Amino acid sequence: MELKYNGLFLATAAALYLTGCGGSNSSDTPPATERPTPPPTVFSTLSLKALQQNSCGNLPVVADVVFHKANGEFISSQQTQADGTLQSTIPLDAQHASFVYRSNNDKGDKYLQIQSVLNIKNGFEVDALVFKNYDDCGCNAINYNLEALRAEVPDHQLYGASVLPIRLGDAADEAKLCADAQQQLLFTRYEDTRKGAIFDTSQPTTITLSDAEFTAAGTLLDFGDHTFEPRELISLSSYIGNVQVYNEHVNEARYNHESYKEQNGLVIFNDLNTVNYVSTSRFNETNGFGISVSTNSYAVSKVGSEGKFIETPHITDDENLVRGYQILAESMADESGNDVAIINFSGADERINTASFTLDWEDAQQGTAKWQIITDGDDSIPNLMFGDIIPEDSVTPINMSINITLLALNSELSFEDMREAMIESQESFEKRVESKLYDGAAVYSITAE
């Protein structure tokens, strides 16, 4: 698909090239015993398992695997098996690969998802390649019965059973929560004491709360002398296994309010064996010439058992970053070259080791479409062609948006190995923790639509 633009317009082209080889019957051919021995042909390996994922879990899917030449020309395609797996050799003339998955949700809406990885000539092996499952899992109706807890500790507040803290002395008999996770962390607070517990929310039920269940002591996060940037948000996420059991946000107004540290500071519970990450995010949005441009910068840190962490610096937003976006925009507007888009952020923050280029659009035949291309931050994206997998006359996009995301991941691996680890880590939170890629990671994204 050719990503050349008239405004925000996606044009599509496809081509199929057949290659072959032949020999000569010339009488000048030396006898077999005199022929030089050619070097052995070595094929690289492609191995993967395709999954679709939502909050209910992962399911294997059948996806198309497309091989492209260095210039993007279509070579051939295969499909994963019913269990999502594919073990294959990579064609000798293949340089890039794309993974294509079509689906319908339970409402009949159509979706097209494409993930392209450049420069796979040396092989590509991942335990999991994850596509989004657009079916809605719904949530479980949980009724927390507060009568016993209210009688025992009427001067406490309860967190997690509703959007706002519940003052138990003034509480109703029940607090109703629609939980989409299998477990939920709740905690009570009285003055400087916070006590937490985990409750099973995997099925609709009524849970009677009592003070005896809240046994884990809370530890407040230590932000030191944190200074907020404009439109900055602090977030704390706590996980048990793959389940997010707690998620809370603090903006500048709340953080600087005199009651913040006394009443509702961000807190972790070591006795519950949670894994905790804190992030700071900065959002900005501008509009002009009929286009909306938004930026979002994240910095992620893993929280230690004492509530302490090293605050990760954000990716620097300076003239070098702007120049990278200018190079990208100019390359996409240039109709003369073979490269559709040039990703070059080599002069920006030296920590950047990955960049993803993503297109989102709507289409009468394809439905909602998303195409992500993963690069090392200094690469050229050719005109990737898909043959009959996505015919040239089947894409008429509208409502398109373009996103470029720069990642400074915690890794000293080669880009190819780090890319595989990053793709695999999307299968589960436990894999993300094991990879350590996001321990001290910084992410910067810009979206135009």
Per-residue pLDDT at 26: 38
Residue with tokens 């709340």: 254
Per-residue pLDDT at 41: 52
Residue 432: other Cβ atoms inside 10 A: 21
Length, in residues, of the chain: 449
Per-residue pLDDT at 152: 96
Per-residue pLDDT at 3: 44
Distance of alpha carbon 258 from alpha carbon 218, whole angstroms: 20
Longest distance between any two alpha carbons in the chain, whole Å: 103
Distance of alpha carbon 38 from alpha carbon 23, whole angstroms: 14
Per-residue pLDDT at 9: 26
Per-residue pLDDT at 27: 37
Residue-level pLDDT, tens digit, the chain, 449 residues: 554 443 332 222 222 122 222 333 333 434 444 545 545 555 799 999 999 998 888 999 999 999 999 999 999 999 999 999 999 999 999 999 999 999 998 888 999 999 999 999 999 999 999 999 998 888 899 999 999 999 999 999 999 888 888 999 999 999 998 888 889 999 999 988 999 999 999 999 999 999 999 999 999 888 777 788 888 999 999 999 999 999 988 888 777 766 655 555 789 999 999 999 999 999 988 886 677 888 899 999 999 988 889 899 999 888 888 888 888 888 887 776 666 888 898 888 899 999 999 999 998 888 999 999 999 988 999 989 999 998 877 777 788 888 999 999 999 999 999 999 999 999 999 999 999 999 999 999 988 88
Model confidence pLDDT, tens digit, residues 273-308:
999 999 999 998 888 667 788 889 999 999 998 888
Sign, CA torsion 332/358/351/231:
positive
Per-residue pLDDT at 397: 79
Tell how strand 243-251 and strand 232-240 pair up: antiparallel
**Contact predicate 288/294, CB 8 Å:** no
Write the CA distances from 372 to 104, 116, 149, 355, integer angstroms: 19, 6, 49, 10
pTM for the full predicted model: 0.84
Distance of alpha carbon 126 from alpha carbon 120, whole angstroms: 12
Domains, the chain, ranges and CATH?
140-217 (2.60.40)
CA angle 425, 427, 431 (to 5 degrees): 45
